Amino acid sequence: MFDFLEPFFFGLFALGIIGAGAAVVTLRRITAQALLMALTFACMAGMFLLLGAETIALFQVLIYVGAITILILFGVMFTKVDDRGYGLFFQQQTPWAAAVVLVIALPVAFLALSFHDPITPSAKGGDLIPLAASLFTDYSFPFEVASVLLLAALVGAIVLVKRDDQ
């Protein structure tokens, strides 16, 4: 009797994702854009919940909302962005870009809608155990590589931002 919930939430999240995403692309107030991006991420987490991937959803919130958005806000606050209306707030290439993107996007979306297989949430017990299992057995080497990548990013970021005079 609750099976109307899933499509309902799906619609809600889809609306949030697309609306907020479009706003991020088009808006001019950068803090608003950051916040809306956070909203997009949150709705994306909802999508993951719908797909029965609650661990992924929580990671999504933890990393994107909790960390990446903050970092971006950091960037926003450090780089004082003056919304002075440059003559072209968009690139000159906007029409081209729009055309190309549309030409790609429409067929892809059309193609995507042609998958009719239903999504049924995964088995009981959630995706934590399976995820951990496959992450630490089959994908342990990529896992290590990812850790190395993170370390490199850490060091690189520090080196880039570090001022030389101190």
Partner 1 sequence: MIANAWLIPGLPLAAFLMNVSFGRRWLGRWTGTIATAAVGVSAIIAIGIFFEVRAGALRTVVPLYNFMTVGDFHIDVAALIDPLSTAMLLVVTIVSFFIHVYAIGYMAHDRGFWRFFSWFPLFVFAMLILVMADNYLVMFVGWEGVGLCSYLLIGFWFERPEPAGAAKKAFVMNRIGDWGFMVGMITTFLVFGSMNFVDVFDRVARNPPAQGVLSLICLAFFLGATGKSAQLPLYSWLPDAMEGPTPVSALIHAATMVTAGVYLVARSTPLFDAAGPVLAGVAGVGALTAIFAATIALVQFDIKRVMAYSTVSQLGYMFLALGVGAPIAAMFHLITHAFFKALLFLGSGSVIHGFGDVQDMRRMGGLRSKMPLTYWTMVIAGGALAALPPLAGFWSKDEILGSAFKNGYPILWVVGVFTGGLTAFYITRAIWLTFHGVPRDRHLFDHAHESPRVMTVPLLVLAAGSILVGFIGFPPDNGFIHSFIRPAVETGTGSAAVEAGTNWLEFLTFAAISTAVGILGILLGLSMYSRGRPDPAAVSRAAGPYYDVLVNKYYVDELYDRRFVDVAKAFAGAAWAFDIHIIDGLVNRLGWAIKLSGGGLRRAQTGIVGNYALSIVGGLLLILIVYGGYATGWLHR
Partner 2 sequence: MPIGPFGIDPTIWAVLRLVIAVGLAVFLVLNGALAQIFLERKIQAVMQDRIGPYHTGPFGLLQTFADAIKLLSKEDIRAKLTDAPFFLAAPAIVFSPMLASFVVLPFGPDFVGANLNVGLLYLTTLGSMTVLGVVIAGWASNNKYSLMGGLRSAGQLISYEVPQILGLVTVVLYVGSLSMVDITNSQPGLLVNVLILPFAFVTYLIAALAETNRNPFDLPEAESELVAGFLTEYSGMRWAVFFLSEYGEVTVVSAIMATLWFGGWHGPGVDAVPILGVLWFTLKTYAFVLLFMWIRATLPRLRIDQLMGFCWKVLIPLALLNILASAVIILVFADPRLPLAVTNWLLVAGLIIGLPFTQRRRLLRFRSRTRDSVGLRDARSGLSP
Partner 3 sequence: MTVPLGAFIAVSAVLFFLGAAGVLVRRNAVVILMCVELMLNASNLALVAFSRRAGQLGAGNPLDQRGSVFVVFVFVIAAAEVAVGLAIILAAYRNRPTVNVDELHQMKG
Closest CA relative to residue 12, chosen from 46, 52, 36, 38: 46
Nearer to partner 2, 14 or 49 (CB): 49
Cα–Cα distance measured from residue 113 to residue 129, given in angstroms and rounded to the nearest whole number: 31
150 binds partner 2 (CB under 8 A): no
Q: CA quadruple 54, 59, 60, 62: dihedral positive or negative?
A: positive
Binding mask 75-114 for partner 3 (x = CB under 8 A): xx-xxxx----x-xxxx-xx--xx-xx--xx--xx--xxx
Please pick, from the candidates 100, 128, 146, 157, the single residue that binds partner 1 as defined by CB under 8 A.
100
Least distance from partner 3 to the Cβ atom of residue 24, Å: 6
64 binds partner 3 (CB under 8 A): yes
39 binds partner 2 (CB under 8 A): no
Please pick, from the candidates 62, 81, 101, 157, the single residue that binds partner 1 as defined by CB under 8 A.
101
Give the list of residues 6+ apart from residue 152 with CB closer than 8 angstroms, or none: none
Nearer to partner 2, 114 or 137 (CB): 137
85 binds partner 2 (CB under 8 A): no
Q: CA quadruple 80, 86, 90, 94: dihedral positive or negative?
A: negative
What spatial distance separates the first Cα and last Cα of the chain, rounded to whole Å?
Answer: 66
Cα–Cα distance measured from residue 15 to residue 71, given in angstroms and rounded to the nearest whole number: 26
How many CB atoms are located within 10 Å of the residue 53 CB? 21
107 binds partner 1 (CB under 8 A): yes
Cα–Cα distance measured from residue 45 to residue 74, given in angstroms and rounded to the nearest whole number: 23
Size of the site for partner 1 (CB under 8 A): 10
Residues that bind partner 2 (CB under 8 A): 31-32, 35, 38, 54-55, 58-59, 61-62, 65-67, 69-71, 73-74, 76-77, 125-126, 128
Residues that bind partner 1 (CB under 8 A): 91, 93, 96-97, 100-101, 103-104, 107-108
